Structure 1
Amino acid sequence: MSKASKIEGELASLRERLEDWNYRYYVLDDPSVPDAEYDRSMRRLVELETAHPELLRADSPSQRVGAEPLSQFSQVRHELPMLSLDNAFSEEELRDFNRRVLERLKLEPDTALEFACEPKLDGIAVSLLYRDGVLERGATRGDGTTGEDITHNVRTVQSVPLRLRGSGYPPLLEVRGEIYMTKQGFETLNARARERGDKGFVNPRNAAAGTLRQLDARLTAQRPLQMCCYSVGLFEGGTLPERHSDILDLLHGWGLRINPESRVVNGVEACDTYYSELAQKRDGLPYDIDGIVYKVNDLALQKKLGFVSRAPRWAIARKFPAQEEMTRLLAVEFQVGRTGAITPVARLEPVFVGGVTVSNATLHNADEIERLGVRVGDTVVVRRAGDVIPQVVSVVADRRPEGAAEVAFPERCPVCGSAVEREPDEAVLRCMGGLVCAAQQKAAIRHFASRKAMDVDGLGDKLIEQLVDRGLVDNAAGLYALGRDDLVGLERMGEKSADNLLAALEQSKETTLERFIYALGIREVGEATARNLAHHFGSWEALAAAPEDKLLEVADVGPVVADHLRQFFDNADLMAVVGQLRERGVHWRDIEVVPQQELPLAGQTWVVTGSLEALGRSEAKAHLQALGAKVAGSVSSKTTRVVAGPGAGSKLGKARELDIEVIDEATLLEVLREHGIVP
């Protein structure tokens, strides 16, 4: 045998051996050799590949160390959308889901369907594309349609096989799953950060997300990420098993990790039992979970049930309840927002709740403080559910210490010293400093540059703080007057970062009328109202000149919003900022105005009831009005449709009594998207 053949044979043997050890360690949790033996084999592999670079393969175990840093992430369009799941927050809502499934399948109400149950990992959804068994691409979920190419990062995750094991896999296979960080891995990562004097991450999910967004994969390789698969997306060639659970077993056989807590059960009662059992085990699991996913196990039934626009009808996620803890209120400070609203913020003795360490919580306003009866020094109950801002929900009265001080609201703005006022019928105290107030300047610029407004990539909070504090910018128009010399030298702002920001500002100049209206931050004008205004008037000039009675003709604009709009348009300083923005190149196309009677839902009356997760009732109402529908507050024989979310009460009962069509939020989203509205 030639020397070259011997080297190729040794390389093949080393790669096979190392991948087998990786599989046993990271996928099966069953290490078969000591670390020292693994390290010796890896060193030998790297030594041979370094000496013979022509024999290096992309799927070699040595290539998990990370490639050269990227300058940016490229976009990936998912050929099959990565849909989200509807949520259930109670046993009743889970049973409602089961009932809807049985009704759609025309099965008897007591039928015990087979469900695949899986822990809902608190991580980052990803897509892995394998071609002929070799990892070709990794991508984030993104918005479900378009994600980011993170191939260079997922290649470093040890539980992601670079080449599938065994045989029988199709020529093209897309695997979907969750990348997460274990609790132990998170603690180790943060301990190292503290040793370096860094702040660290707030929870394992944020750590995983931050790690996957590293442009330098060599940093990703140093962090303890895991991947657990939960489904198949694109699949070309071959056939899939007929049950979801069997598909997971097949993936596991090809070298992919699946969750060991997964289970197949029969009937909704068994689903509830599984929920209770996993809730008890939750704190002891080595990773964070925020609920359980239930899927109809039979793929033929899944196909019958189908999808709504953003979610499958055959799956639901039952979330764990909001988590609460007790802690002590150390102080109350006051923050000034974009519209001058002064918000009391509780400074707390740090407490771990809802998966994070909480040291601040909102107290909302003076009325809420009075309702709670809270004083500085009190022991309070803090609630945090999912990504919701922590809030103080109650006071533990029998633990109040002597000398607990009442909360005193400021008599002047804590930032600029201007007068403060509380308008009649409002709970909010406001700074009257307007554009003189640095806090309002910063908040207004932050809102203007946000993703749903002008979408200025790279303009973060710390940079905005510096720009305002140094007097470089005092309103949104000032952003477009910035030059390279203004930016270079700011903290964490080198020449390349400055050029990137200037390019992002230039790109943001081309926008839409509705985005521009929303970006201005006019009080009470959210995205949906901005869209209604844009489509009703068609141009900025027509909108700005509209008297109050014409503004009131716009769907979702009442007297309060109309008054805020007119105050904005009548303010010479604010309109001067708008003029500067346009002079500096911000532009959009005017919109062709469609008469009200020609709108797709004209003549229809809708009612929205219950809680809506994705939209919120006010936003849903605004979207429906933009399509020409009248949105009523009560159900009658004239009602066309009722949108019912969780907690819907008498209105839902009335709709059923009158045999009026009732739809859920997912179906509403489908209707909106059919008519060009993408919430």
Structure 2
Amino acid sequence: MSADIQSKIEQLTQELNEYNYQYYVLAQSLISDYDFDQKLKELESLEAQFPQYRDPNSPTLKVGGDITQKFKTVKHKWPMMSLGNTYNEQELKDFDSRVRKTIGDDFQYVCELKFDGLSISLTYEHGKLVKAVTRGDGTQGDEVTNNVRTIRSIPHQLKKGNYPDSFEIRGEIFMHKSAFLRLNQEREDNGDQTYANPRNFASGTIKLQDSAEVAKRPLDCFLYFLYADNRNKLFENHWESIEAVKSWGFHVCEHTKLCNNIQDVLDFIHYWDTERHQLSYEIDGIVIKVNDYAQQEDLGFTAKSPRWAISYKFKAERVETILESISYQVGRTGAVTPVANLQPVLLAGTTVKRASLHNANEIARLDLHEGDTVFVEKGGEIIPKIISANIEKRPEGAVAISYPTHCPECNTELVRQEGEAVHYCPNEDGCRPQIVGKIQHFIGRKMMDIQGLGDETIETFFRLGLISKISDLYALKDHQDNLVGLERFGQKSIDNMLAGIEASKQKPFEKVLFGLGIRHIGETVAKKLAQHFKNIDAIATATALEIEAVPDIGFRIAESIHFYLNQDEHWAEIQKLKDAGLQFAIEEKEVVFAGDGLAGKTFLISGVFVDYSREELTALIESHGGKMLSSISAKLNFLVAGDKMGPSKLAKAEKLQVPIISESELLAMINN
């Protein structure tokens, strides 16, 4: 019996630590909040009965997850503790009883929506934002100040007000539902992995290294708790502080409410359990705090949570329905995505007929069988997902669902690259959804933005045999006779389309490169490749390692573009597009020299800098006569090193005795 208990504690500890790592560090949810909390409670109960078996690193003693190594680690002045939580109204009433036992009956609660996002602590000095730190493990977190500065609802400088010279304000960074759906669709269109819910997308965004990329993703932030030395001399209670920070210019949720008793709290919970679906953002519960600061101090803290606050978490709406079939969609990159077709069922206010199954691993994990009765939730309240199958209702003799070995569209054998969960159809030039999808991608607004052409028109032209590859668009002018008479396609429509196709020839190289639809090559990557290599021929002759040396280009991206450009059929297509007049080189702008102080010297830039981007430093060097190199060699005169420069570059520069200078030393060279 004792060995069984010890084994169970070890198993739960290992599981929960892994879930914590996936959630806090990798921003991936492998389990629902409810199921996680039930496992955590089970572990807490076992550890209380058998403390001799408790692991020193037990998740019951941790607030969050581990610290990612990508950012500077900063210790919190005031720990970012987690809240105790419950899904049960009786436990909430028990919490109220404990509070009354300690401080009496004369108190109020503040009820706040519990936002499903990423906790953040902002430090202000003399009204100026100086530091932003994630929760991390509760005692220290990652400094992400540059990324947080891109969030428009967070003020960089406060207007004049009666605020302390130094204070911290805590809040939650999140993404609105509409932005999540739009950005996830863009990732899918680019062949990138999509996020399961807005919380993961927001968390993944704030951990990006490039703040320019963060700025492209519309994040928002609600602020909800103030910390300062001698805070009690400024305000008597939490409600007063919230009203004050609003007047200082902070974004505070309008739905926060002051409650006089536990019944007011329960009424607030009942209202938002239904109305939360009307919000533009996700909430997963309600936070309840004792209002008065002096009473908060009397109540105190446990090792990991304040005794004056608790969160009531909504159960994710879960329904049962029948799995009628699974269909497989082929995207423009060849990725094959399984989709569960369900018997229609009402869930969170909408009728659900389909649910994503992501990949073969997910089907195997769920152990799905034909005709299964399945439990369905809305992941992040947006995307329906199958949580599990009800085995007790499984039809007798039901056959386990097996992932197809061949493409459902063209019957080509599927491939699965090492380290990836997704199966791909390699027949990109003979598989209808891939061909049509690539052409539709090419004409898109962020790519070539060809006016007069739409997705339905591309489908029609392909079906009629007018186009089968991108270059065929530029031959349509020679087939106008075949276009006349098509439904909803008069002469004016034809003229507008041909004019749009002709105008696209002036689109810059990075747009063309993005438009080709190369796997893993999104808008930003295309721009960086174009700026670095200047033309398509230079990219095509570069090795995968040389491509990977471009800032922010990983090995998988480098391998993908190197493979694509070394296929004869792809190069033949590029040659046709070149002959049609498309731009496959950047337009070299004449450099206006600001001086010649760096003439005859060569430079390479690596790392992250304080005052300038790498592009700005490059322009500065070239405008003063310096020349940029793409790699470290004996020809290099100076390596300009910023924060987080790769160790291999540093080692090579030191081996070759290349002088390593800082951003400020470079500026001093220019000024001298």
Fold equivalence (TM over 0.5): no
TM-score normalised by L of structure 1: 0.44
**Could you tell me the TM-score, scaled by structure 2's length?**
0.45
